[in-house]
Chain A
Amino acid sequence: MSDLKLELKEKIIEQLNLEDVAVAEIGDTDQLFGEGLGLDSIDALELIVMLDKDYGIKLADPKEGRAIFESIETMANYISANRA
């Protein structure tokens, strides 16, 4: 699981072009949106695409994203339970 969390941090930094953020700065339970990493609605769409492209997971209901993308930990848990 810790490997997946590290992988997710690296993917998020690369795919969302967070050039001024280092892997070590993202805590497992830090909020990804709002006060935390400051991601926005376009980033949320990128994360939905990433789930599909890299882990074979299609979100049937985009509203699910709010809970899934709360933190690296919630993302890793969801991917572990649902990956193809």
Chain B
Amino acid sequence: MKKAYQIHSFCHIKNGQISLNGKTIFEHSAEDFQIFTKHAYTHFEIDYGKFFKMDHLSKLAFIASDVLLKEEKEKNTALVLSNRAGSLDTDRKHQAAMNTYPSPAVFVYTLPNICLGEISIRHQLYSENAFFVSDSFNADTLFHYANALLDDKNSEKILCGWVDMDEGKYHAFLYVVAKSGIFTHTTKEINRLYQTQ
């Protein structure tokens, strides 16, 4: 019988809080996402100057992935992320500047999968990646895609999840799927962890 994969760890970023495996590891009352992430950047001693050039979606994905991959040695870790709004938050900023001087630095983030590139550069990953857009969190898609990558031996681990940002509202839920871990990798369990703050 085929052995089920496991969820090694998970992270939430929502409402001014960052949690790892259900335990709050950082919180800040700033309502402005820019200020919140700046404090998180300092708290986690990230020391990565390019962080400040990123758009909000990439900053959200970057911090959540840093929490999970900071000590990760496995470079064959695939990235499978998803969200509802795509890159709409940045698209709106670019659209607003269209009649004046559009910023090239804003324009380069007008695709949601750019955040995957930022994570890959940060952690030196040359792995598979995919980004899905759906109306709501879809554990089923993530579950089957992650299993397929592991079954085909394309990847040793998968960083999966949801990273959504629009008009100041944000939620990141990322988790690592591996051959060993603390939770069974099932759709039911993914949905349960998604609901866990």
Q: Which of B52, B53, B101 contacts A49 (CB 8 A)?
A: B101
Q: Contacts A19-B52, A20-B49, A20-B52: A45 and B101 contacting too (C-beta < 8 A)? A: no
A63 at the interface (CB under 8 A from B): no
A17 touching B108 by the CB < 8 A rule?
no
In the complex, 7 of the A-B residue pairs with CB atoms within 8 angstroms, ordered by the A residue number, are: A16-B53, A19-B49, A20-B52, A38-B49, A45-B104, A49-B103, A53-B101
With CB as the reference atom, state the residue of chain A lying closest to B49.
Answer: A20
Q: Give the total of B residues in contact with A, Cβ under 8 Å.
A: 10
* Chain B residues within an 8 Å CB radius of A53: 100-101
- B49: A residues at CB distance < 8 A: 18-21, 38
Centre residue among A16, A18, A20, A38 by max chain B CB count within 10 A: A20
Interface residues on A, range: 10 to 19
Within B68-125, which residues are at the interface with A (CB < 8 Å)? 100-101, 103-105, 108
> Inside 8 A of B100's CB, which chain A residues have their CB?
53
Give complex CA distance A20, B48 in Å.
9
Please determine whether B52 and A42 come into contact, CB atoms closer than 8 angstroms: no
